[in-house]
């Protein structure tokens, strides 16, 4: 197994080539889920996988599965993958690395003529980012039975288009029922998106779990009023109240440092005119912590702050919890395979939990799963400047391949080959 080596140049070429699909002038990528550029990168992935002789299936959430057969067609595949959608001003590596490294692993097996015991698959999950259709990881969520397909189809983007309509429009609503496919295991390679590996000079993160996260949608209602004629004491300014709530989210997260984070990432003001006191403001809240009990406390603090602000400014505030993802502990067998993959490849490692959400967190509910992290420059992600070097990407892909082969060997032993 030691002599199977992925091709670093080829993986890098794939990363740079796909980054042209939806490229932004500042060197980033804007490839929102279920848009024309998403269709284009999906077509690219399908053609590349079929070029290796893989069979590509698409489920009714648009998730793509590229399968290379193994000795035993009756055993569920060992899968690898991540997502090809990006944030509105995303980078070249978040998601793409995990899918393209999976493709490179398949290519390495193909060129070596290596026959695995189980089939091996590369997966491209639909809408991991959740920036167009909330929440994030919606397709892996349906796959794991957390959301129904009909609920997912009805989610709308800020322009009012539904997920179902967008999926149909780009031609990626497949026949296979989402969730009907069984997996023997799932491995996801990703950039860390944080600073720890780089700071400690470690090459590989052995990811043992994912922290808990919650999303909320808040609406503040005040009263529209003339900006020139309405005296300050008479105003019911929804944006002023929202601003105080943004501050409260930050304060709550800081109060539970160092592990808590809280973010207001989208805010819409109505009617949005320079000379109208805002009558209504909509905004999102993203809060995360490794422990649910702390998130419960943070949530109560936000509600208390909202009540106080509503009284002080004579507005109403509603905060709806729209998504809650509990903390996840990955499968010990998969974690052991990642560790072994790093060991045989000669890389230094550090155990860590993921602070970002990933499809592997939902897949872990229905199949053994684990993740591999590689460092990224200055820990920057969800940013056009996101960067991981050719060598860092290659190291991750090599560990991914070796982890899959290690798991495949264990499966063969279990089935008594």
Applying CB under 6 A, the residues found at the interface with ligand GLV are 129, 136, 356-357
- The nearest distance, CB 388 to ligand GLV, in angstroms, is 16
95 binds, among Mn ion, ligand GLV, none (CB under 5 to 8 A by kind): Mn ion
Q: CA 217, 265, 377, 83: dihedral to nearest 10 degrees?
A: 50
Return the closest-CA partner of residue 373 out of 346, 396, 345: 396
- The nearest distance, CB 354 to ligand GLV, in angstroms, is 8
14 binds, among ligand GLV, Mn ion, none (CB under 5 to 8 A by kind): none
- The nearest distance, CB 95 to Mn ion, in angstroms, is 4
- The nearest distance, CB 324 to Mn ion, in angstroms, is 19
**Which of the ranges 86-94, 106-114, 233-241, 283-291 carries the binding residues for Mn ion, by CB under 5 A?**
86-94
- The nearest distance, CB 197 to Mn ion, in angstroms, is 16
DSSP 242-255: HHHHHHHHHHHHHH
Of these, 91, 95, 130, 375, which contacts Mn ion (CB under 5 A)?
95
CA 21, distance to chain mean position in Å, is 19
Residues 337, 400: Cα–Cα separation, whole Å = 9
Contact between 81 and Mn ion (CB under 5 A)?
Answer: no
The dihedral through the CA atoms of 74, 75, 80, 81 has a sign that is: positive
Contact between 286 and Mn ion (CB under 5 A)?
Answer: no
Return the closest-CA partner of residue 78 out of 379, 295, 337, 348: 337
**Which of the ranges 93-101, 139-147, 317-325, 339-347 carries the binding residues for Mn ion, by CB under 5 A?**
93-101
Site string for Mn ion, 5-44 (x = CB under 5 A): ----------------------------------------
Residue closer to Mn ion, measured from CB, 220 or 363 = 363
Contact between 94 and Mn ion (CB under 5 A)?
Answer: yes
- The nearest distance, CB 310 to Mn ion, in angstroms, is 33
Evaluate whether 78 touches 407 at the Cβ level (below 8 Å): yes
Query: Could you tell me the CA-to-CA distances from 248 to 42, 236, 254, 261, 361 in Å, in that order?
Result: 41, 19, 10, 12, 29
Place of tokens 């989210």: 249
Return the closest-CA partner of residue 337 out of 370, 294, 363: 370
Per CB under 5 A, residues contacting Mn ion are 94-95
């Amino acid at each position: 197994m030691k002599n199977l080596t992925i091709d670093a140049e080829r993986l890098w070429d794939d990363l740079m080539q796909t980054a042209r699909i939806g490229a932004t002038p500042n060197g980033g990528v804007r490839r929102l889920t279920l848009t024309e550029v998403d269709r284009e990168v999906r077509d690219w992935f399908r053609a590349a996988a079929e070029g290796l002789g893989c069979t590509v299936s698409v489920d009714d959430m648009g998730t793509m599965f590229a399968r290379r057969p193994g000795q035993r067609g009756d055993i569920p595949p060992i899968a690898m993958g991540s997502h090809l959608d990006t944030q509105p001003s995303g980078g070249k590596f978040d998601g793409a690395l995990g899918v393209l490294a999976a493709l490179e692993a398949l290519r390495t097996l193909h060129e070596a003529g290596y026959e695995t015991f189980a089939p091996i698959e590369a997966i491209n999950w639909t809408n991991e980012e959740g920036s167009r259709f909330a929440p994030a990881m919606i397709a892996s969520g349906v796959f794991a039975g957390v959301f129904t397909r009909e609920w997912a189809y009805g989610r709308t983007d800020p322009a009012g288009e539904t997920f179902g309509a967008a999926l149909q429009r780009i031609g990626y609503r497949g026949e296979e029922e989402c969730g009907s496919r069984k997996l023997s295991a799932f491995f996801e390679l990703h950039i860390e998106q944080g600073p720890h590996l780089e700071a400690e000079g470690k090459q590989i993160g052995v990811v043992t779990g994912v922290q808990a996260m919650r999303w909320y949608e808040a609406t503040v209602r005040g009263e529209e009023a003339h900006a020139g004629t309405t005296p300050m004491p008479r105003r019911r300014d929804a944006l002023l109240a929202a601003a105080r709530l943004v501050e409260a989210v930050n304060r709550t997260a800081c109060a539970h440092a160092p592990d808590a984070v809280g973010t207001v990432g989208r805010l819409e003001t109505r009617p949005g005119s320079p000379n109208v006191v805002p009558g209504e403001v909509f905004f999102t809240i993203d809060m995360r912590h490794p422990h649910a009990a702390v998130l419960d406390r943070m949530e109560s603090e936000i509600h208390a702050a909202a009540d106080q602000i509503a009284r002080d400014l004579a507005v109403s505030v509603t905060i709806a919890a729209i998504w809650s993802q509990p903390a996840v502990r990955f499968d010990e067998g998969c974690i052991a395979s990642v560790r072994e993959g790093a060991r045989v490849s000669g890389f230094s490692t550090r155990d860590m939990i993921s602070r970002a959400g990933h499809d592997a967190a939902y897949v872990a509910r229905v199949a053994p799963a684990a993740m591999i992290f590689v460092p990224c420059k200055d820990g920057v992600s969800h940013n056009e400047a996101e960067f991981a070097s050719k060598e860092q990407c290659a190291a991750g892909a090599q560990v991914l391949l070796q982890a899959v082969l290690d798991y495949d060997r264990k499966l063969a032993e279990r089935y008594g080959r």
